[in-house]
A and B are shown apart, each in its own frame.
Chain A
Amino acid sequence: MGNRRSNDTPLVDMRGIFKFFGRVQAIRGIDFHVDRQEIVGLLGDNGAGKSTLIKTLTGFHTPTRGQIYFEGRPVNIDSPFVARELGIETVYQDLALVPLMSIARNFWLGQEPTKRFGPFRLLDDEKMGEEARKALADVGITIRNPHEEVGTMSGGERQSIAIGRAVYFGKKLLILDEPTSALSVGETRKVLEYTRTAKARGMSVIFITHNIGQIHQIADRFTVISHGTKVGDFYKDEVDEEEVASMVMTGEVPERLRIIREEEMMV
């Protein structure tokens, strides 16, 4: 943790996280933090433990050992609902939206606006459609018809909507789990753009991927993990793409960086 440039309390600070599934040790003592308005690329090969780490943060798993601090306060995230209340929004590769529901319904899912109808509360479809369209337009996403089914849309459009939703509801942390792995080049660029918008609006972003090439332009910092342990944290100006790529593959910190790190430690 010696390598931090900000002195503020980090938005998220996960300390000494362990997660065991029976005898499988998925994560072994990872420290991970995200500062405010920071885009962190969480990198690692398949099976390195990225997703497990993130799922302990979003409440799908509870860590076997370790403590999570959110805005400096220790928190116990034992369900997705708690994570949501804290302001953590996750956009999963295929879990973000319900394909058979309309954009507007997806957008508002779980917090739909209603209007009173006598003693009953009915969904306000018009408001849902209109506000969803406006909100997405604010982030720079134009949609044709808010009542269109999500299933008819492309992967990039879906990711965009999920990101737009997170931004609209004023979340603090956006987690993107392999958001671009199924997208075309153009769509990927768009998603990256929206990620920047999210940052500009004050959110922090964790961008999980095993493809360094995609996020090198937008990320502020990379955290590389391998075989359930952290290889290291590196700011963008410290490393180049190839070094990160080799770390992801080998799990070894290159000689040059190791020296820098040790020097910092000495100071």
Chain B
Amino acid sequence: MQAYFENRDSNAQSGQLYTLMMGVLGLAYLAVTIMIFTGWIALGDRANISRRDINFNEWAVAIGAGLLGIGALRTAWGLAQREKASWAWLQWMAFVSLLVGFAVAMSAILGTTQSDTLNLERVIIGFAGFGISAIVYRFAVQGSSYTPDQRLRIQLAESPSAGAIIGLVVILMGFSMASDLFLETTSIASILSNNATKGIIAIGITTLMISGEFDLSVGSVLGVTSMAYMIFMGEGFQGIGPLSFEQQPTVIAAILALICACIMGLINGILLVSTKIPSFIVTLGTLFAYRAIALVFIGGGRILRYRDYFPPPAEFPQVQISRWAIAALAITGAVFILVTAAQAIPQYWRRIKKSWASIKDREIGSVLALGVTIWSIMSVAALAIVFAWLSLVAYYHLDRVHLGATLGKGDFWLAVVLGLAGAAVIAGINLFPTWRKTKPGEAYSIPTGVTIAILWIVVFSLIIKVYNLKLSLSSPDESLPILVIITSLAFVHLALATFRQYRLARQQVVAAGEKVDSIPMSAYLRERGLLNIGISVILGLLIAFLFATAYDLFGNVDSPLRIGFFDVANGQWRFTGEQVTRGLIHLNIPDQANLRNAIAWWVILAAVFQVILFRTRYGNSVFAVGGNRGAARAQGINVNRVKVQNFVLCSFLTGLAGIMEVARNPGVDPLKGDAWELDVIAMTVIGGTLLTGGYGSIIGTMLGVLIFGMLSTGLVLVGMDSRMFQGVIGVIMIIAVVLNNTVKRSRN
């Protein structure tokens, strides 16, 4: 293979053979995608179901096969061009195909247990794919230093959650082969929804456990918080003196309940630090103590129900937000971006002059540079026009509602002028990479440029066609969706351009023979002031969203925005692709699929805590305290404070979970959250976090939560006695820990 890439013709045959094989493979994958869309391949039970309703499995397979097909074709092209990088591509494609072939064959064989006939074609195709890929792989990896499977193994060994990853894959594959129902939307939904709140608590437990402690009282804290929330919301609380509360609006009740949770965490932490008793004992004690609070307050077998306090004609609690506030926020953001961009005007002006000069000097590639420049200006101008438009529409709306003025023709031209001015300011951002290059292909190569252009055109025409949209001043409400979409896309484009610039600069540095390390991304972005642009991309998306909310795309402008608090906390997702895409995509979440908002909160909180743990000083001290208390102390870290903070944090997250639980099921019984602590600790341990502290990750814990959820749902689906569940969980937990240790040992 080496010889092939070094252009020695003696060995060209093998390269040509691989090129051919990759080409065929790519076409085969694409064929699968097409066949699924046209209905030639049906996955799952499809009797009497319209061909338009492609189910989730089919979507997944179609998208996966499509991506693999594109990858294989790209590899074939690279091989034909003797691109060095395509060798690694070839290895990966062969490796993935090997796995895919095996999976296809096995699922066909195992699937027979449920349908009567063995799907022989699929078995043969699967094994054929497996065999051929294995042979290709065997020869393609010859002489390379790191093969894909080695790389995977190294990656796995470095990850704290190796056991969890392996377990997740095995369990997922096992259950999906054993039961057709397992990959149904409803099953996935119940796995996620039923465990998202536990997942949120598990984040706190993971943090605590990394710092070398753990908390058995979370179940009781959850019970008390839920109860407190309900009591503050429903009947108020008669305490002593200032500790009495009237009945409170829902947000205040939630905040008070969270304060209760934090106090309970604080008590845990202070007890631990001041008495130096192991956290097992302390939190075992508070487990009982906090449970007693719930038992005393909800005496006599009572259950606190929201409906008992607010019988049916009353709605679930709602939060009102003034649209003025949202609009103000959006406009502030827009102004911020424009000011940031305006600061760079002189720099951009120099660049424009320089690129113009290069065109006049007839430098190689200058025409292409001009083309790309125009393209850049156009996309940025679109962005700026949309901004100006949004501002004007905002003005118009507020006017119409509150001042009675109307929008005239002059205002439209104002919008255009504003837009062009904004474009001139921001255009430089995209101009930057184009003038520097001296030969074609360094910035946007022609194929890339054309592809981007086609993609934009396709996306826009699709959106416009699907929504039957028009840009019209007389009915700004109708224009808004398209404006919002264009803004978002333009921002995405800007973000991509930013990263592209970084890559180009890096390549230039490498080409100049300097060390790559000498321009870290962050430094580059900061230096160019582009980090600001990155932030504005995020801000811009947010602004677009805020604008959309402020003008209420689908409703009334006058009234304040009303949001159901329970919906935000843990409402059910009702998404019908048909409605949103006007019949283009038949991707619906069935009503019986219980996907809830707690899942989103779980993912967001997990991401936030992953950053906190691995990228902040606080996180570093958490690891240090758990890994070597003495060393942490000797380096001036206040060990006790970190521990107390972690206990409070853990209880706070538990409190959040408690409120979400109430939002899902507005009733609290005194035993709410009973025995949850054990589930949550099991999830965390499965995820690879060490009980002794100093090691672990939030992502591992998330996998642990998923494993836990898949087992609880999957065992029922395969018809196992649900009472066996706890036993299985116990065994799995031990296996996961053993696996983690084995992988870790193999690394050292």
Q: Do A and B bind each other?
A: yes
Q: Is the pair A123, B615 in contact by a Cβ cutoff of 8 Å?
A: yes
- Interface of chain A residues 103 through 142 with chain B (CB within 8 A): 105-106, 108-112, 114-115, 118, 120-126, 130
- The interface stretch among A61-69, A88-96, A196-204 is A88-96
Q: Is the pair A98, B631 in contact by a Cβ cutoff of 8 Å?
A: yes
> With an 8 A cutoff between CB atoms, is A58 at the interface?
yes
Q: Is the pair A121, B517 in contact by a Cβ cutoff of 8 Å?
A: no
Q: Is the pair A58, B620 in contact by a Cβ cutoff of 8 Å?
A: no
User: Which residue in chain B gives the minimum CB-CB distance to A129?
Assistant: B517
Tell me the smallest distance from the CB of A8 to a CB of chain B, in Å: 28
Q: Which of B517, B523, B623 contacts A98 (CB under 8 A)?
A: B623
A114–B523 CA distance with the chains assembled, in angstroms: 13
Tell me the smallest distance from the CB of A120 to a CB of chain B, in Å: 8
User: Which residue in chain A gives the minimum CB-CB distance to B617?
Assistant: A112
Tell me the smallest distance from the CB of B528 to a CB of chain A, in Å: 15
Given contacts A84-B635, A96-B631, A122-B611, contact A105 B620 (CB under 8 A): yes
Given contacts A112-B617, A122-B616, contact A100 B695 (CB under 8 A): yes
> With an 8 A cutoff between CB atoms, is B3 at the interface?
no
- Interface of chain B residues 486 through 542 with chain A (CB within 8 A): 517, 520, 522-523, 535
Task: Provide the residues of chain B in CB contact with A84, threshold 8 Å.
Answer: 634-636
Task: Provide the residues of chain A in CB contact with B632, threshold 8 Å.
Answer: 98, 109-110
> With an 8 A cutoff between CB atoms, is B624 at the interface?
yes
A174–B319 CA distance with the chains assembled, in angstroms: 60
Given contacts A84-B636, A122-B615, contact A100 B694 (CB under 8 A): yes
> With an 8 A cutoff between CB atoms, is A101 at the interface?
yes
Task: Provide the residues of chain A in CB contact with B627, threshold 8 Å.
Answer: 98-101
- Interface of chain A residues 174 through 203 with chain B (CB within 8 A): none
A170–B591 CA distance with the chains assembled, in angstroms: 65
> With an 8 A cutoff between CB atoms, is B376 at the interface?
no
Given contacts A101-B623, A126-B520, contact A80 B631 (CB under 8 A): no
> With an 8 A cutoff between CB atoms, is B350 at the interface?
no
Size range of the interface on A? 35 or more
Task: Provide the residues of chain B in CB contact with A118, threshold 8 Å.
Answer: 535
Tell me the smallest distance from the CB of B124 to a CB of chain A, in Å: 47
Task: Provide the residues of chain B in CB contact with A96, threshold 8 Å.
Answer: 631, 634
A218–B628 CA distance with the chains assembled, in angstroms: 30
A80–B630 CA distance with the chains assembled, in angstroms: 10
- Interface of chain A residues 10 through 69 with chain B (CB within 8 A): 58
Task: Provide the residues of chain A in CB contact with B636, threshold 8 Å.
Answer: 80-81, 84-85, 110-111
> With an 8 A cutoff between CB atoms, is A97 at the interface?
yes
Q: Which of B520, B522, B611, B620 contacts A109 (CB under 8 A)?
A: B620
Q: Is the pair B638, A81 in contact by a Cβ cutoff of 8 Å?
A: yes
> With an 8 A cutoff between CB atoms, is B51 at the interface?
no
Q: Is the pair A90, B634 in contact by a Cβ cutoff of 8 Å?
A: yes
> With an 8 A cutoff between CB atoms, is A246 at the interface?
no
> With an 8 A cutoff between CB atoms, is A152 at the interface?
yes
Task: Provide the residues of chain A in CB contact with B621, threshold 8 Å.
Answer: 109-110
Main secondary structure of the interface of A (DSSP, over half): mixed
User: Which residue in chain A gives the minimum CB-CB distance to B160?
Assistant: A100
**Bitwise interface map of B from 275 to 303 toward A, beta carbon under 8 Å scored 1, else 0:** 00000000000000000000000000000
> With an 8 A cutoff between CB atoms, is B474 at the interface?
no
A111–B610 CA distance with the chains assembled, in angstroms: 20
Tell me the smallest distance from the CB of A136 to a CB of chain B, in Å: 16
A112–B517 CA distance with the chains assembled, in angstroms: 20
The residue among A90, A97, A108 with the most chain B CB atoms within 10 A of its own CB is A97
Q: Is the pair A110, B635 in contact by a Cβ cutoff of 8 Å?
A: yes
Q: Which of A95, A100, A125, A151 contacts B630 (CB under 8 A)?
A: A95
> With an 8 A cutoff between CB atoms, is B748 at the interface?
yes
> With an 8 A cutoff between CB atoms, is B359 at the interface?
no
A121–B638 CA distance with the chains assembled, in angstroms: 19
Task: Provide the residues of chain B in CB contact with A124, threshold 8 Å.
Answer: 522
- Interface of chain A residues 69 through 88 with chain B (CB within 8 A): 80-81, 84-85
Q: Which of A85, A99, A120 contacts B628 (CB under 8 A)?
A: A99
A241–B695 CA distance with the chains assembled, in angstroms: 45
Task: Provide the residues of chain A in CB contact with B523, threshold 8 Å.
Answer: 126
User: Which residue in chain B gives the minimum CB-CB distance to A90?
Assistant: B634
- Interface of chain B residues 601 through 626 with chain A (CB within 8 A): 611, 615-617, 620-621, 623-624
Q: Is the pair A98, B634 in contact by a Cβ cutoff of 8 Å?
A: no
Task: Provide the residues of chain A in CB contact with B634, threshold 8 Å.
Answer: 58, 80, 84, 90, 92, 95-96
User: Which residue in chain B gives the minimum CB-CB distance to A88?
Assistant: B634
> With an 8 A cutoff between CB atoms, is B353 at the interface?
no
The residue among A58, A81, A98 with the most chain B CB atoms within 10 A of its own CB is A98
A148–B621 CA distance with the chains assembled, in angstroms: 18
A99–B629 CA distance with the chains assembled, in angstroms: 11
Task: Provide the residues of chain B in CB contact with A85, threshold 8 Å.
Answer: 636
> With an 8 A cutoff between CB atoms, is B633 at the interface?
yes
User: Which residue in chain A gives the minimum CB-CB distance to B539?
Assistant: A118
Q: Is the pair A109, B637 in contact by a Cβ cutoff of 8 Å?
A: yes
User: Which residue in chain A gives the minimum CB-CB distance to B624?
Assistant: A98
A95–B627 CA distance with the chains assembled, in angstroms: 10
Q: Is the pair A123, B631 in contact by a Cβ cutoff of 8 Å?
A: no
Considering the complex of A and B, which 9 residue pairs feature the smallest CB-CB distances, nearest first? Answer: A95-B630, A98-B627, A110-B635, A98-B628, A100-B694, A84-B636, A100-B627, A109-B635, A110-B636
Cross-chain pairs A/B with CB under 8 angstroms, 11 sampled: A81-B636, A90-B634, A97-B628, A105-B623, A108-B620, A109-B624, A110-B632, A110-B635, A123-B620, A124-B522, A152-B748
Q: Which A positions have Cβ atoms within 8 angstroms of B?
A: 58, 80-81, 84-85, 90, 92, 94-101, 105-106, 108-112, 114-115, 118, 120-126, 130, 151-152
Known contacts A84-B636, A109-B624, A109-B637, then 14 further A-B pairs from the complex at CB < 8 Å, ordered by chain A residue: A58-B634, A80-B633, A92-B630, A94-B630, A97-B628, A98-B628, A98-B694, A99-B694, A100-B695, A110-B621, A110-B635, A121-B617, A122-B615, A123-B620
Q: Which B positions have Cβ atoms within 8 angstroms of A?
A: 517, 520, 522-523, 535, 611, 615-617, 620-621, 623-624, 627-628, 630-638, 694-695, 748
